[in-house]
């Protein structure tokens, strides 16, 4: 899962990136509204953390522009303490949730998981497909209750497929959601991760849809 972090305060931005990375996400960052708007407009994100008080263009305007352009990614706004009017305008502008500063990283991660889940139409933190389950709270995967040892990249590929189970996911879509923007993206690596996952998973879970991509679904 790939997250856009928009925050102009360097220390908080670094904390957010570290916290996200520790939780298994990749992230891109922007420290002003213009860059944030451009990234959200042109790149694929599973969710955005958006500070409202930003140089060059305020967060609310960024959000309104995204929504007006039809971008539906979940957006969690970061507001000043007691900024209730900011929360109201943020939600009216299309934010999905908010968090007041200062906040606990654990709470931010829980809200983020919920947003990503809901965007994929899932109501609970554990996603299952046949014998395979992932717990999005701790990035663990199990098959028939037995823990599965996965690298962080393998988990990201699997988590993305689980959030989009029964749908065909193209190779390029997977690449966009498992790597940060500045990473050297090579579509062959997706095939390698899929091949490794298949060795670890029960047969038939990940199907190749010729010319289109991959589909994760419970074997019949």
Task: Provide the binding-site residues for Ca ion, judged by CB under 5 A.
Answer: 8, 51, 53
Question: Shortest Cβ distance from residue 132 to Ca ion (Å)?
Answer: 41
Q: Tell me how far apart the alpha carbons of residues 99 and 197 are, in angstroms, rounded to a whole number.
A: 36
Least distance (Å) from Ca ion to the CB of residue 183?
26
Helix (H, G, I), strand (E, B) or coil at 176: helix
Q: List the end-to-end C-alpha distance of the chain, in Å, as a whole number.
A: 28
Q: Which is nearer to Ca ion, 51 or 97 (CB)?
A: 51
CB closer to Ca ion, 53 vs 131? 53
In angstroms, give the least distance from the CB of 5 to Ca ion: 12
CB of 77 to Ca ion, least distance (A): 11
When computed from its CA atoms, the radius of gyration of the chain, rounded to whole angstroms, is 18
**Angle formed by the axes of helices 59-68 and 84-92, to 10°?**
20
Which pair of tokens denotes residue 217?
């679904």
Smaller CB separation from Ca ion, 53 or 120: 53
Sequence-separated (6 or more) residues with CB below 8 Å from residue 27 = 2, 3, 4, 5, 16, 17, 20, 21, 180
Taking the complex as a whole, how short is the minimal distance between the CB of residue 79 and Ca ion, in angstroms?
10
Q: How far is 50 from 5, CA to CA, in rounded Å?
A: 6
Give the residue with the Cβ less far from Ca ion, 8 or 191. 8
Q: Which is nearer to Ca ion, 33 or 213 (CB)?
A: 33
Judged by beta carbon, residue 101 or residue 185, the one nearer Ca ion is: 101
Distance CA 177, CA 47 (A): 10
* Residue 17, phi then psi, degrees to nearest 5: -60, -45
Residue in the shown chain whose Cβ atom is closest to Ca ion: 53
Q: What is the smallest separation between the CB atom of 78 and Ca ion, expressed in angstroms?
A: 8
Q: How far apart are CA 61 and CA 59, in angstroms?
A: 5
Tokens read off for 70: 């039809």
């Amino acid at each position: 899962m790939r997250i856009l972090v928009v925050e102009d305060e360097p220390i908080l931005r670094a904390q957010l990136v570290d916290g996200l990375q520790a939780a298994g996400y990749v992230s891109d960052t922007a420290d002003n509204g213009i860059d944030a708007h451009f990234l959200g407009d042109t790149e694929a994100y599973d969710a955005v953390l958006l500070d409202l008080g930003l140089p060059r263009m305020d967060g609310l305007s960024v959000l309104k522009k995204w929504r007006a352009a039809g971008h539906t990614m979940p957006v969690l706004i970061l507001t000043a303490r007691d900024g209730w009017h900011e929360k109201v305008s943020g939600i009216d502008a299309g934010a999905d949730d908010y968090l007041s500063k200062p906040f606990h990283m654990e709470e931010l991660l829980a809200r983020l998981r919920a947003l990503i889940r809901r965007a994929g139409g899932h109501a609970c933190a554990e996603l299952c497909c046949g014998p395979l389950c992932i717990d999005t709270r701790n990035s663990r995967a199990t098959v028939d209750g037995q823990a599965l040892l996965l690298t962080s990249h393998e988990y990201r590929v699997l988590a993305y497929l689980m959030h989009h189970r029964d749908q065909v996911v193209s190779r390029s879509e997977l690449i966009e959601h498992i790597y940060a923007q500045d990473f050297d993206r090579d579509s062959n690596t997706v095939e390698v991760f899929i091949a490794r996952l298949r060795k670890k998973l029960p047969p038939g879970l990940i199907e190749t849809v010729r010319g289109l991509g991959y589909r994760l679904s419970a074997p019949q």
